[in-house]
C-alpha cells in the first residue's frame, strides 16, 4: 500500500461500523473465511468476499468500502451467519455498512429508484387496473395502494 493510500485510511471506520446496530460483531472476526466459503455471491463475483470486506473495514479503508458498488450485492441469505464460529453476524454487519454508505451519500441508482417507487406506490411494483382486473377474474381482492404509510416510514 503506497503512502497516498495509507493517508486515505480512516482508523475510526471500524468503530463507526461497530457502533451501528448489528455492526458490533466486526470486532471479533478472526478471518477464518468460513463466511466466504458459503457465500453464494462470491463465486459469481469475486469482488464480493465477506472476509475481505471485514479486513478492509478493520484496516480503515472507508472510502473503498462505502463507495464500492459490490457492497450492494449481498443477498441477505444469512448463510455466513450460520457458519461463523465467532458469531460475527456478517449479514448484520453488511446492513450496518450499507446504512453508513447511505448516510455518506453513497446510494446506488437502483436503490434510489426503489425509494421513488415506494414513495409513489407503497410497493416496488405498481399495481394497475390491469392487474386488479385479472385478480378480480380470479376471485382475488383488489389491491389498493397506500403510499402515504410508506412515505411516512421513509
Residues of the shown chain interacting with ligand SF4 in the complex, contacts defined by CB under 6 A: 29-35, 38-41, 50-51, 54, 74-80, 84-86, 88, 90-91, 94
The smaller minimum CB distance to ligand SF4, of residues 57 and 106, is found at 57
Q: Is 139 left (phi over 0), alpha (psi -120 to 50) or beta?
A: left
> CA 11, CA 65: separation in Å to the nearest integer?
13
Instruction: Determine contact, residues 35/84, Cβ cutoff 8 Å.
Output: yes
Q: How far is the CB of 94 from ligand SF4 (least distance, A)?
A: 6
Least distance between ligand SF4 and beta carbon 60 (Å): 17
Select 102 or 127, whichever has its Cβ closest to ligand SF4: 102
Compute the distance between CA of residue 121 and CA of residue 107 in angstroms, rounded to an integer.
21
Closer CB to ligand SF4, 57 or 122, in the complex: 57
Amino acid at each position: 500500500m503506497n503512502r497516498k493510500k495509507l493517508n486515505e485510511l480512516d482508523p475510526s471506520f471500524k468503530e463507526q461500523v461497530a457502533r451501528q446496530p448489528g455492526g458490533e460483531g466486526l470486532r471479533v472476526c478472526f478471518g477464518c473465511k468460513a463466511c466466504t466459503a458459503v457465500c453464494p455471491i462470491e463465486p459469481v463475483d469475486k469482488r464480493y468476499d465477506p472476509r475481505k470486506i471485514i479486513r478492509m473495514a478493520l484496516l480503515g479503508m472507508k472510502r473503498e468500502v462505502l463507495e464500492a458498488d459490490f457492497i450492494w450485492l449481498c443477498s441477505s441469505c444469512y448463510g455466513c451467519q450460520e457458519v461463523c464460529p465467532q458469531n460475527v453476524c456478517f449479514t448484520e454487519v453488511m446492513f450496518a455498512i450499507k446504512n453508513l454508505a447511505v448516510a455518506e451519500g453513497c446510494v446506488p441508482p437502483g436503490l434510489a429508484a426503489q425509494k421513488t417507487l415506494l414513495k409513489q406506490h407503497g410497493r416496488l411494483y405498481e399495481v394497475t387496473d390491469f392487474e386488479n382486473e385479472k385478480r378480480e377474474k380470479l376471485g382475488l381482492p383488489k389491491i389498493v395502494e397506500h403510499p402515504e404509510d410508506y412515505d411516512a416510514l421513509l
